[in-house]
Amino acid sequence: MTKQFLLDGQPVPFDDGQTILEAARKAGHYIPSLCWHKDFPPHGSCKLCVVKAAGRHVSACATPAKEGWEVESNTPEINGERRGLLQMLFVEGNHFCPSCEKSGNCELQALAYEYEVLTPRFRHFFPDRPVDASHPDVLLDFNRCIFCELCVRASREIDGKSVFALTGRGIGKHLVVNAESGQLGDTDFSATDAAAHICPVGVILPKGTGFAVPIGERSFDVATIRSKTLKESS
Amino acid sequence: MSFELETAANRESLRRVAIDPVSRVEGHGKVTLLLDEAGHVREARLHIVEFRGFEKFIQGRPYWEVPVMVQRLCGICPVSHHLAAAKALDPVVGALTITPTAEKIRRLMHYGQVLQSHALHFFHLSSPDLLFGFESPVQQRNIVGVAGAYPEVARQGVLLRKFGQEVIRITAGKRVHGTGAIPGGVNKSLTAAERDELLQDADQMIQWSRDAVHLARRLHETNGSLYDEFGLFRSHLFSIVRADGALDLYDGSLRLRDARGQIVLDHLPCADYATHITEEVKPWSYMKLPFITELGAARGWYKVGPLARVQNCDFIPSPLAELERQAFVAHGEGEPIHAPLAYHWARMIEMLHAAEVIRSLLDDPDLLSDNRLAEGPRQREGVGIIEAPRGTLIHHYRVGDDDLVSYCNLIVSTTHNNQAMNEAVRQVARRYLDGRQLTEGLLNHIEVAIRAFDPCLSCATHALGKMPLAVELVNADGSLVDSATSGG
Ligand code: SF4
C-alpha cells in the first residue's frame, strides 16, 4: 500500500523521498513557491511554500513527506503568512508592474493576485539599484530581484558559467555579476543560456522586445498560477 | 500683449484670496487673487503644480518601457502619452514610417481617446455650468443635476464615453493603461468580431456627437454676449496640421496663426520643435510658460487645444464636422474666435470628427492585417507630437546604444495653455469680481474659465463633475479671516 499524509484533511499519497510540495502538487493540491524549480535541489529561501506539519512551520519544498502527518496549507493563517511574505518582497525591491515587460508573465505578480495582495502594508524600501544594460541582447533590471537564485543556479549548474552570485547580507543582499567590471557585457553570458530564461520575475529580460505580446495573451492572463502550476506538475 | 495683473505693486498690503482645489496626483491647481481695500483685483494667478519628476524617472529606463510607463503621467488622457511616446520611439527602432495597419490602429485608438475625453469633459464636467448657469445652486451644478433635468443628454454623454473606451480597450488591450502601441508599430490588430462590435454603435455615436455640437452652438447663438465675451482675450493659435492643411490629431507639422488668423509659421517639422518653442520659468509658477522663440516671451504665447485646432486647420476631412466648422467660422464674422467658452463648441466639433473618423476607419481592411511592425536602421533620437484632447503634446527622447533612455523632454498640453489660462483668469477677475463681495458663485466664474480649457488639473474633478474648492480669505498680514469649502 502507498504511504500517505493528510493535507488540509485530504489524503495525499507519496513515494519515499518525495517532498510535501512535490507529492501535494502531483495529487492536485496547490502549494505556492517562487524559488523552487524541478531541475534543482530545494532552495528554501522564498518561504512561500510554508506549511504547518506536525504543529511546526516547515518549507514544503525541502521537507520529505512522512506517513500519517497532518499538514495544514490552505488555511487563513498560512495564507495570511504567505500574503505577508509577498508584501515584503514587493517593498524590498522596486516593482512598477505597469511598465514591466514581465507583467502578465511574472510569478510574483501572479502570486500577488492569487493571494489577494490588494493593498500595500509595509513601508517601501525604494532601494537604489541601477539597471545593467551593458549586454547587447539581455537587460538586467536588479530593481525586481527577489533573490531566488534561480539564475545563479542555472548559470552554474546548467550553463557551466557561474555568471551570477548573491552578495551582501540582510537588507544589503543583492545580485551581482561575476566580472571584474561587474557588467554583464563583460561576461560570456548569452541570450540562449538557461539562466537567461529562468527568472520568475522581470530581472533578466531580452532586449528590444517589450510588450510585443498584448494584454490578454500573456501566461497569467489565460490561466492562474495555481492552475498553470498544477497542470505542469501532473 | 500685456502681463497686466500678473504681479501687483505693493503686494504686502493687499488682501489675498486663494481658490484651492484639492490636490490629486495628476496635478494640483490653485488660484490666488490679491485685492486692495476697496476690493479691486490687483493680481490674479493660476498656479499648477506639475509632477516634473517624470522626465528624470524615465531617464535610465529601457526605451521599450516608456510608452507604457508614461501613461501614468496623466489619469485622464493616458492614451495620448502612450501614443506620443510610441511615435517618438519609432525612429529608435528604425521605423521611419510605420505600416498602414499600425498607423490606422493607432489612429483608431487616438480618436477613441479624443471621443471619450471630450464626451467626459463636456457632459460630466461642463454641462452643469452651461445648462444651469454659472451661479446656479451648487447642489444642482453637477452631473447628477444634469441627469435629473436633462436625462437624455446625460445618457448620451455616458454612452459616448463608453464607446470611446471600448475603442481603446479593443486597440490597447485594456480600457486604461493598455499596451497597444509599441516602438515600431502595434502589438495587436483587430479581429473581425471586434470590428463588428464597434460598427454596431458607430453611426449612433456620430448622430449623438452632432446633437452635442448643436447644443454647444445654440449656447453661443442664443446667449452671445455671455458666451462670446466671457474671459475673452486674444492670442496666437498653435497646433499640428496635416500637410494639406487638414485637421489631423495624430500626425502632421507645426503651424502657428496670429490672433487675427494670419498664418505666421507653417510646415515646421515636429523634430524641430525645440528651435521654435522656448519654455520660460517664472518664479511664481511651478509650471513653465512656453512661447514661440521667434516672437519672444511677451508676444509669442499661444493657445492650444480644440479652439486653436478647429481654427488653425484649413478644413476638417470628414463631411459633418466640416459643415460644423464652417458654421463655427461664420460665427466669428471674419475674425478668429478667442472666447474661452467657445472651446466647448470647438471640442464638440472635434468629437463629431472623431466619431466620423472611427466610423470610416472601421471599413478599412488594414485594421485586420497582421502587418504590424516596421523596423530599419536605428536612430538615437526621436520626437513624437500628437494633438491630445487638451492640445499639443510633445515627447522627445534620446536613447543610447545600450537601449537606455539618456534624455527625455515632455511638454504637455496644459503647459502650453499656461499663459492663456492665466490670461483668462485675469479677464474674469477684472470683469466679474472686481470691487464685489466674493461669493461661491462669483468664484465659480473663475473656475468656469479654467474649465473651458479642460486643463489636466481637472482630472481631479472629472469623476464627480464638480471642482472641489476651498476658499480662504487672508488678511494682508497673512491671518485667516474666513474660509469656506464647497464642491468636493
Ligand atoms: S517583476 Fe513582476 S512583480 Fe516585479 S515589477 Fe515586474 S511584473 Fe511586477
Domain range A3-74, CATH architecture:
Roll (3.10)
Across chain A, mean pLDDT equals 93
Asked if residue B421 is part of any domain, the answer here is: no
User: Mean pLDDT across the stretch B279-288?
Assistant: 71
The contacts of residue B56 (CB under 8 Å, 6+ apart) are none
Is B388 found in the same domain as B337? yes
Q: Tell me: the pLDDT tens digits for B138-170?
A: 666 666 777 777 888 888 999 999 999 999 999
Asked if residue B455 is part of any domain, the answer here is: yes
Query: Which of the listed residues B384, B416, B448 is the one where a domain comes to its end?
Result: B416
Q: Identify all chain B residues contacting A207, using CB atoms and an 8 Å cutoff.
A: 62, 403
Is B207 found in the same domain as B138? yes
**CB pair distance less than 8 Å for B187 and A213:** yes
**Structural domain boundaries in chain A:** 3-74, 83-233
pLDDT category of residue A172 using cuts at 50, 70 and 90: confident
Is B387 found in the same domain as B255? yes
Q: Identify all chain B residues contacting A215, using CB atoms and an 8 Å cutoff.
A: 172-174, 178-179
pLDDT category of residue B457 using cuts at 50, 70 and 90: low
Of the candidates B418, B476, B457, B485, the one whose C-alpha atom is nearest the C-alpha of residue B42 is B476
Q: How far apart are CA A106 and CA A218, in angstroms?
A: 9
Predicted local distance difference test score (pLDDT) of residue A152 = 97
Residue A234 in grid coordinates: 501532473
Is B361 found in the same domain as B225? yes
Cα A29 to Cα A6, A37, A51, A74: the distances in Å are: 11, 17, 13, 9
Q: Which of B54, B59, B64 best probes binding to A when mutated, by most A CB atoms within 10 angstroms? A: B64
Distance from CA of A62 to the nearest CA of B (A): 37
pTM: 0.85
Predicted local distance difference test score (pLDDT) of residue B76 = 66
Chain A residues within 8 angstroms (CB to CB) of chain B:
96, 98-101, 130-131, 133-134, 139, 141, 207-216
Give residue B31's domain range. Answer: 6-51+435-486
A51 Cβ inside 6 Å of ligand 1: no
Asked if residue B428 is part of any domain, the answer here is: no
Predicted local distance difference test score (pLDDT) of residue B417 = 82
List A138's β-bridge partners, or say none. A206
A139 Cβ inside 6 Å of ligand 1: no
User: Mean pLDDT across the stretch B272-287?
Assistant: 80
Across chain B, mean pLDDT equals 83
Is B148 found in the same domain as B245? yes
Task: Please state the domain count of chain B.
Answer: 2
Asked if residue B425 is part of any domain, the answer here is: no
Q: Answer whether A3-74 and A83-233 agree in fold.
A: no
The contacts of residue B139 (CB under 8 Å, 6+ apart) are B145
Of the candidates B300, B279, B305, B83, the one whose C-alpha atom is nearest the C-alpha of residue B186 is B83
Answer yes or no: is pLDDT of A129 > 80. Answer: yes
Predicted local distance difference test score (pLDDT) of residue B446 = 79
> What is the residue whose three cell numbers read 502578465?
A104
Predicted local distance difference test score (pLDDT) of residue B327 = 97
pLDDT category of residue A98 using cuts at 50, 70 and 90: confident
Strands of the A70-72 sheet, one edge to the other: A10-14, A3-7, A70-72, A50-53, A56-59
Is B460 found in the same domain as B388? no
List B373's β-bridge partners, or say none. B185
Cα B59 to Cα B253, B270, B384: the distances in Å are: 27, 22, 17
**CB pair distance less than 8 Å for A98 and B72:** yes
B249 phi and psi angles, rounded to 5 deg: -90, -10
Domain of B278: which CATH number? Answer: 1.10.645.10
Residue B363: exposure state from Cβ atoms within 10 A (0-12, 13-18, ≥19): exposed
ipTM greater than cut 0.90: no
Q: Tell me: the pLDDT tens digits for B168-207?
A: 999 988 777 778 999 999 999 999 999 999 999 999 999 9
Asked if residue B429 is part of any domain, the answer here is: no
Is B35 found in the same domain as B75? no
Classify domain A83-233 at the CATH topology level. Answer: Alpha-Beta Plaits (3.30.70)
Predicted local distance difference test score (pLDDT) of residue B471 = 44
Of the candidates A173, A165, A171, the one whose C-alpha atom is nearest the C-alpha of residue A125 is A171
